[in-house]
Each structure stands twice: as C-alpha cells, then as structure tokens.
C-alpha cells in the first residue's frame, strides 16, 4: 500500500458548489482556531461568527456539534496523512523525522477534540479505530523505509516511535521550540548507532 493511502474515506463528504465548499472550509478553519484557543466547548455561535457566516449556514453544513467536531478531527488527520506523501520524497530519516514532528501538532488538536468526542462515542468506536488505522497506513511505511535504509535501529518498532512522540506531546512545554528540541533529542535514540543496528 502506498504511503498515505487509506482503505476508507478520511474526509467527510464535502459540498460540490464552490460557494458552499468555501463556507464549509471556512467553518472547519474557524472551528479549529476557536478550539485551539478556547477548547472544544466553544459555542457554535462563536464559530459561525469567526467564519463570517450565519448560524443557519453552520447547521446546514454540520447539523450537530458532533458532526463539526468529527469534521475538524478528520481534517487534522487528513493533513497528517497527506504530509506523509509529501515527505516521502525526502531522504529516509528526514522523511520520518518530519512526519513525527507533524504528528506532535496533530496530537495537540486530537487531545482536545477526542475528549469532547468521548461524550458521543467510546474509545473503541469505528471512528477512532479507522483513525488509528490511517495513522499506521501513513506513518509506518516511512518508518519501515528508514529502518531498511539502516538509519533507524533494527530493534525499534513503529509503535516505539509513536509512544515516544505521544509521551512528549502529553508533557509538552508552552515555551516556543522546546517541544521540538526535546523531540529531536528523544528521536535521536531511534537512530542507528552501530554495526548491529543499535
């Protein structure tokens, strides 16, 4: 399977008319921004105001709060998966390192939205299962390629890399650049260090 390819549709169905699609994208962008600033409980009225559309337009695109939360979540995931395709053209370590740094950004949004989505569905719901599968389908080929090129330890697994990033994301500092520096230090432990792949 090609890097970034998925066996299911990540993006929810989007409007076909140009003006409707513009409103749809503006609402997702406004919701992402509002959720990042004020949390996933931000009012729908505030999101409509930020998107410069009426509340009726918001409800036509996203009939329920859950629909909007899912759309923003999937949009972030889609961006993460598509980034794997773009990064695949880089050298193996640079591609994997770049994607894992992008994963940190995704986790920040995911944490806030997932907590809110748990009010509507449990952790084993198909929605979350499909999202986890998409992450593996996007990132694991980059990891395997780097390992086969001899730039990642032979005794490491993709799950190890994900756990490293998730652990750092949970304890990340607000200080600009600090999370990236800590991640660089941690990921250096994945790199091939000797003739036995360690």
User: Looking at per-residue confidence, does 51 or 12 come out higher?
Assistant: 51
Residue 157: both structure tokens together: 């697994």
pLDDT in tens, 79-91: 999 999 999 999 9
Angle between helices 158-170 and 126-148 (to 10 degrees): 120
Question: What is the three-class DSSP state of 152?
Answer: strand
Q: Which residues pair with 152 in a beta bridge?
A: 191
Delineate the domains of the chain, giving CATH numbers in brackets: 14-63 (1.10.10.60), 73-190 (1.10.357.10)
What is the structure's pLDDT at 2?
A: 42
What average pLDDT is seen over the chain?
86
Predicted local confidence at residue 198, as pLDDT:
46
- Supply the pLDDT for residue 10: 60
Question: Would you state the pLDDT for residue 76?
Answer: 92
Whole-angstrom Cα distance, residue 109 to residue 96? 21
How many other CB atoms are there within 10 angstroms of residue 39's CB atom? 12
Secondary structure (DSSP) of 92-129: HHHHHHHHHHHHHHHHHHHHHHHHHHTTTS-TTSHHHH
For range 42-49, the mean pLDDT: 95
How far, CA to CA in Å, does 57 sit from each of 27, 61, 68? 9, 6, 12
At 62, is the secondary structure helix, strand, or coil?
A: coil
8 Å CB contact between 183 and 165: yes
CA distance 17 to 20: 5
């Amino acid at each position: 399977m090609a890097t970034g390819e998925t066996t299911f549709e990540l993006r929810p169905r989007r409007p076909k008319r140009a003006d409707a699609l513009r409103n749809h994208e503006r609402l997702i962008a406004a919701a992402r921004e509002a959720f990042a600033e004020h949390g996933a409980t931000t009012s729908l009225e505030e999101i409509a105001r930020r998107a410069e559309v009426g509340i009726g337009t918001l409800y036509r695109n996203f009939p329920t709060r859950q629909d909007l939360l899912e759309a923003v979540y999937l949009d972030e995931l889609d961006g993460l998966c598509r980034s794997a395709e773009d990064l695949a053209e880089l050298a193996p370590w640079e591609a994997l390192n770049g994607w894992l740094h992008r994963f940190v950004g995704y986790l920040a949004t995911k944490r806030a939205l997932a907590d809110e989505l748990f009010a509507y569905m449990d952790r084993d719901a198909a929605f979350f299962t499909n999202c986890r599968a998409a992450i593996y389908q996007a990132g694991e080929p980059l990891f395997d390629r780097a390992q086969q090129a001899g730039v990642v330890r032979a005794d490491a697994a993709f799950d190890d890399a994900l756990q490293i990033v998730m652990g750092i994301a949970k304890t990340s500092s607000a200080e600009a650049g600090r999370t990236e520096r800590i991640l660089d230090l941690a990921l250096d432990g994945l790199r091939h260090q000797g003739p036995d792949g360690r």
